[in-house]
Amino acid sequence: MTDKSSEPSRSARFPWREGRPPHLPMGPGEVPRIVLLPGDPARVDLAANALEDFKIVGQTREFRFGVGFWDGEAVGVCSTGIGGPSTEIAVVELANIGMEIAIRVGGMGAINPTISLGELLVVRESLRGSGAAAYYASPRERVLADPSVVEALLLKAGEMQMLARCGVVATVDSYYAGQGRPYRAGGSWIDTTADWVARGADGLEMETETVLAVARRLGVAAGAVLGAHNSRPTDDWLESYSQTQLNVLRAGAAAGVHVLRQRDASRR
Which pLDDT does position 8 carry in this prediction?
67
CATH number for position 107: 3.40.50.1580
Q: Are the beta carbons of 133 and 92 closer than 8 angstroms?
A: no
Q: Are the beta carbons of 239 and 129 closer than 8 angstroms?
A: no
Give the structural domain span for 227.
29-267
- Please state the domain count of the chain: 1
pTM of the predicted protein model:
0.94
Q: Are the beta carbons of 48 and 54 closer than 8 angstroms?
A: yes
44 belongs to a structural domain: yes
249 belongs to a structural domain: yes
| Residues lower than pLDDT 70 in the chain | 1-8
Per-chain mean pLDDT for the chain: 94
Q: What is the pLDDT of residues 166-180, one digit of tens each?
A: 999 999 999 999 999
3 belongs to a structural domain: no
156 belongs to a structural domain: yes
12 belongs to a structural domain: no
Q: Are the beta carbons of 22 and 81 closer than 8 angstroms?
A: no
Which pLDDT does position 193 carry in this prediction?
92
Query: Exposed, middle or buried, 18 (CB in 10 Å: 0-12/13-18/19+)?
Result: exposed
6 belongs to a structural domain: no
139 belongs to a structural domain: yes
The three-state (H, E, C) secondary structure of the chain, written as one string: CCCHHHCCCCCCCCCCECCECCCCCCCCCCCCCEEEECCCHHHHHHHHHCCEEEEEEEEECCEEEEEEEECCEEEEEECCCCCHHHHHHHHHHHHHCCCCEEEEEEEEEECCCCCCCCCEEEEEEEECCCCHHHHCCCCCCCEECCHHHHHHHHHHHHHCCCCEEEEEEEECCCCCHHHCCCCCCCCCCCCCHHHHHHCCCCEEECCHHHHHHHHHHCCCEEEEEEEEEEECCCCEECCCCHHHHHHHHHHHHHHHHHHHHHHHHHHC
Q: Are the beta carbons of 223 and 104 closer than 8 angstroms?
A: yes
Which pLDDT does position 216 carry in this prediction?
97
23 belongs to a structural domain: no
Count of alpha carbons within 13 angstroms of residue 245, beta-carbon side: 22
Which pLDDT does position 52 carry in this prediction?
97
